[in-house]
Amino acid sequence: LFGQVEDLSSLPLRARLAKQLLHLARSYGVPNTPVDDELRISLQLAHEELAQLLGASRQRVNQELKTMEREEVIRIEPAGLIVRDRAALLRIGEGEP
């Protein structure tokens, strides 16, 4: 819990979002297909709820999600999020670009 509070106060939104997506992928991720490394986050979580978890506005979270999608780190689908590149999320979560 202390680590999460510390992250909220010290990490930029992009890093906090990456860490949260990794946590959700570990907790609720299911393989998207048997032949790839992608994980579908099976938890239905609205962007507004994700923003509240991160202490940010929905608009800012949406901007970061779209950026990560353009970078092919995640894919946004109507049914939820797919994590395409866990290694990239780890790097982002550590504050790397």
pLDDT along the chain (97 residues), means of 10: 53 95 93 82 90 94 98 92 95 87
Which amino acid is it at 4? Q
Domain boundaries, the chain: 2-93
Question: Cα separation of 55 and 19, whole Å?
Answer: 14
Looking at the chain, the whole-number percentage of residues with pLDDT higher than 90 is: 67
Question: Which option is the CATH number for 2-93: 1.10.10.60, 3.40.50.300, 1.10.10.10, 3.30.565.10?
Answer: 1.10.10.10
- Look at residue 12 in the predicted model and tell me its pLDDT: 94
pTM: 0.86
